[in-house]
Structure 1
Amino acid sequence: MPALNASRSDDAASIGFGILSTGSIANHFAEQVKGSSTLHVAAVASRTQAGADAFAQKHGIAHAHGSYAALLADDAVKIVYIGLPNSLHTEWCLRALEAGKHVLCEKPLTGSPQEARLIFQTAQRLGLHVAEAYPYRAQPQTVEMLRILDAGELGRPLSIQASFGFKLENPGDIRLDPALAGGALMDAGAYPLSLVRVIAGGYPEQVQAFKRQGVGGTDTAVIANLAFRGGLMAQVSCSFHAAAHRYAVIACEGGVIETSYSNSTPGNQPATLRIKRGSGFGASVETVSLPAVDAFRVEAESFVEQVRTGKPWIGASAHESVDVAALLEHIAKVAVDVDGRSFG
């Protein structure tokens, strides 16, 4: 159904996205990609027509659909952005691919490595692209941090501390619903796990974990220790209890990098990277300020370029996404409940 006052229509220079969901993350995505010259939101779908109409009106979207299936049949949509609850990701990734659409799915792609492999195998079979969205990968501080590490400027990474958390005070929040694959590990833990995975370049040889379980049966805080081949060790934590924090500290043979990895840095706050080179009294410390970017737009534009040219995009590879799904499953199984209750 067309929305009133739609701001633009499809054209050859701009590829049409369709958004499955009208939730918070979908709003962030729709708002940030408005300035793009290579893509636009052509359609949105909700479980109700009223919900889709309201979202389309707010963001100037031409087509509003009262069902997810209707959006998949919309010819104006070439790429589907999935911002649905975690438990729906696998189903709608597969359905979108079978409908002939490329897919950009919000993290976590899934908490099952078997499902992750099926999604990527389906895309390959159909000649389509699918990717797991982590907007922090498009942040300039992340790009610069990975450049420094890849170039070996600080030597070999030896330890990583990565944490992502915030206070979740609404007991009715869907992220606390076990039926929707909620929990701190799935919602917040995917971020630090993905960061550790891209730095480590592989899967850990040993995993230990602890967690705190909420009243509804989902975990509300998790801490995991990971040991990789070659001696790299990492500690990953996530929480629905602590004040908002998103940071990583990477200690290398010749220095230390400290950074944040938020999805979106406010436009009036530059992204920062703190780099310590050397050790002891002779060490130098540099704080690098980088311009803020609309990370959702940058990652979406990178995905569009991959779809059009085959160029590897800025975000997670298929191997990384499968490994993160495996880590989510692994940690969930081995985590010891500090309150004395079983995991689930």
Structure 2
Amino acid sequence: MTIQSRQQAQARFASFMDPLELERVERIKVMNSRHISSARDAQLKTYYQRLIRNTQTENSKLAGLVILGSSGSGKTHLVRSMENMPGFQPYRVPEEPDFEMLPYISVDAPPKAAPNYILWEIAKACGSVMEKPGNVPEMIEHLTRWFEKRRVLFVHVDEFQHALRTGTEKQIKEIQDTIKELIQIDAKWPVQVILSGTRDLLAFRESNDELRTRTMPFDLESLLPENDLPVVMAIADGIITQHAGLEHSELIDEDFAHKLLKAANYQFGSVIQFTRLACEEVILEGGTNVTIDHFAAVYNLLVGDRGENFNMFNSLGWRELRIPRGIVEGTAFTDIAKKRKKTSKVR
């Protein structure tokens, strides 16, 4: 799929849409594109800068980073913000004018728990057209050539837990050994490896002494009601008033923030998603004011309408309600994103 053909297909649909609807879609796109900064940005940047320094010294044993957090913690969004650093951008060199150098590549982990399949995904991101993966030594050799060809120095693998879930103990050990081989100092073309995923990665890292001493952990901890309600209120207010250009009437208080925090399973990223979806409801209906009813509607959209007594924002007994499995596992947000894909993809 090329970007140009995708844009042409989207433009055709846009030609049949009402101009007012297109304007609302554009507002949603702008709102969703905004980055929500927090103290985590500066903290993670220091880890990235350490890896960047490694590209100059190439003698540090710490050549990997493991970013972990629950579903909805905001891992992927935070990593994407780091990818805007100048040194990570593609560039061209006079001796190779036909293609770009790729100092930083990012892939999603394949569902198959085999190290050669992980290496195959990375090779394809470099431009390899290999139809199927070889064995691990063959893939390391193949990948090394592509790393040199495209000047790759950083490799990010997202949702890394997917590569581990179906693996046997032996396969997990093989994956650990493969990651170590990529970052070892005496490799033919060593790279800095960044893995991100759920807390399953903690056991993956800690269960191998060499991998544990070669990588740095960065844990995106859950928000706490006793400490972080002001953070939740600031996020909701900022998205509603600054990013979406809407208003809210007596909405942002500690009671609301506690409900939103629990509905989001105490995860930073899910608080953002919840608030953006509530704003999207208002924008699409042509309104200007966000109320708690819009958050309640989003909750029903995510987990199903089971009546006010089971809605985190409407129930008088909301403190006793269990957080739905779809929100805990993150599948509720993924499913709704697929349903509403047109609102963020139309050009």
TM-score range, shorter chain: under 0.3
Higher alpha-carbon Rg: 2
TM-score (norm 1): 0.26
Q: Point out the structure with the larger strand share.
A: 1
TM-score (norm 2): 0.26
